[in-house]
Amino acid sequence: MEGRPAAPGPYRATKLWNEITKYFRAGMPLRKHRQHFKKHGSCFSASEAVDWLHEVLRNNSNFGPEVTRQQTVQLLRKFLKNHVIEDIKGRWGSENLEDNGALYRFPSTSPVKPLPSLCPPKENLENFSRDKERLFKLPHLSRRTFKKHELLQSLENLEKTNPDIIEENKEDTLHRKEISQEYVQETWRNIILIHLQTILGLPSLEEVLQPTQIVPEYVMYNMTNTSKHGVVILQNKSEDLPHWVLSAMKCLAYWPRNNDMSQPTYSGFERDVFRTVADYFLNLPEPLLTFEYYELFVNILDLLQPHLERIAVEALQICCLLLPPPNRRKIQLLMRMISRISENVDMPRLHDAMGTRSLMIQTFSRCVLCCAEEVDLDELLSTRLVSFLMDHQQEVFKVPTYLQVAVRDHIEYMKMAQCKYPKEEICAILPTYSYCKQITPQEFEEQKVSTSQAAVAELLENIIKDKNLSVKDKRKKLKQFQKEYPLIYQNRFPTTENEAMLFENKPTIKQPMLSLRKPRFRSLRY
């Protein structure tokens, strides 16, 4: 289990719960214990379970070294509540497990949580099928970088696009179709779906993200209404953080250089300020990443590994654009604050028994990501995500301008296509996307050979058809080609007659001899 991430896709948290419970039952060491002058076989103490499970979670790619011992205790409490384990007297259903010598055992059967139905509503299937058809009618994406003012101007042009009057020219029967705002929004949805499906490596996004969950207005607002530091600026100030929360966050982020709290400091002042900020975020009605996008962000956890760091950042860049602007602003400011606090060597200890970085992660993970329905691994999963966001907050919250470029290119392409071609031919000329399909090593080697030979054969044809080469130069190049690739040359010119037809005279390029034997000369002496 240490090196195997949970399978990506819908209901990943439930799948992970089932895997870890099975692994715990199979791997947790059992032995005899004595308690109250009585021997109990095939059991374990709570502390032994915490020791063993904590080490497993820290070395597991799905959780990582940020897992604390207290979180492990909480997970074991969930085990007890869900009858994965029971106490030595067979009692379960509560969460009163503590990190002590109390004895526990496994019940005869281990409950496995059923996965919810994977069948979406009929209307969602119809909508997704319709969107999926458009998914393969988009031009190849460009990753050119744009300056901010160019990005703003391009998006404004897209937003101001007015419907064109449909005209029919009687001479060439050309049609001009309007580029409506609805079509622009559909283009945004399709391009985002394409990028996310490719990055996450999922065969389908149907159970992870529905097209209706992508609000183009949110995406465009988050990309354009930003400060010089890249933080979203809200037009409606009532949706922003309260002034006293912003002041407290700024005080902590720049401690001790900036303190605009207008209050005298005292011993423990920074702890009180931190507690004030924490209370505000922990009392929000829903997590900052919203319940709606829970499955989407959980599936990104597979990418939070050193060799996949760049891909994870790219996925989070797109996903964070989907958030409502107030949520994006809040999580952006929160990640900036806790990142600065964790790196501030002048910040006094904010907790007696926990380091500053661990305190930041443990405190705010529950207000960043969680499921609307209780999921037993929520805190462990969110801890890992918050840790990554802390370390890469500058890259994650950068605006990926290539999305805007792709939308702009597609709109321009459609305008040109609708002007030049009849309406029924537009779909036929649009370029399509093709996805990579995994092949076997044997197929790869066969394709590598055949592709290379085809390229070399094409090179031979180019030499033959090159009219700028003199006869002498062409003979020289062909002779060199024949020496390097005799089999391909022989396939092109199987006989000398074929070669003679090329030069319209007797060939001077000799076919390679398969065997050369030295002639034997008899002596003339008798």
Mean pLDDT per 10-residue interval, the chain, length 526 residues? 54 79 87 87 93 90 82 90 90 90 86 55 43 39 42 49 41 50 88 88 84 93 91 94 94 78 71 94 95 90 83 93 97 96 91 91 92 74 91 93 85 73 47 51 69 79 81 84 83 77 60 53 54
Q: Looking at the domain covering 234-292+319-398, what would its CATH class be?
A: mainly alpha
Predicted confidence at residue 428, as pLDDT, reads: 43
Q: Which amino acid is at 469?
A: L
Task: Give dist(CA 379, CA 78) in Å, integer.
Answer: 12
Comparing CA positions, the residue from 53, 42, 78, 65 lying closest to residue 1 is 53
pLDDT, tens only, 3-22? 455 555 566 777 788 888 88
Task: Give dist(CA 300, CA 312) in Å, integer.
Answer: 7
Task: Give dist(CA 139, CA 432) in Å, integer.
Answer: 7
Predicted confidence at residue 406, as pLDDT, reads: 86
Confirm if 29 and 52 have CB atoms less than 8 A apart: yes
CATH code, residues 12-105: 1.10.10.10
Q: Which long-range contacts (CB under 8 A, 24 or more apart) does 352-356 make?
A: none
Task: Give dist(CA 288, CA 319) in Å, integer.
Answer: 12
Comparing CA positions, the residue from 32, 31, 1 lying closest to residue 16 is 1
Whether the model clears a pTM of 0.85, i.e. scores above it, the answer is no
Predicted confidence at residue 343, as pLDDT, reads: 92
Q: How many CA atoms lie within 13 A of 3 on its CB side?
A: 0
Sequence-distant (6+) residues with CB within 8 A of 439 are 447
Any idea where the domains of the chain sit in the sequence?
Answer: 12-105, 122-226+399-436, 234-292+319-398, 441-503
Predicted confidence at residue 124, as pLDDT, reads: 42
Helices 401-420, 181-200: crossing angle, 10 deg rounding: 130
3-state DSSP assignment of residue 429: helix
Sequence-distant (6+) residues with CB within 8 A of 215 are 322, 324
Task: Give dist(CA 186, CA 192) in Å, integer.
Answer: 10
pLDDT, tens only, 435-467? 455 566 677 667 766 777 777 788 888 888 887
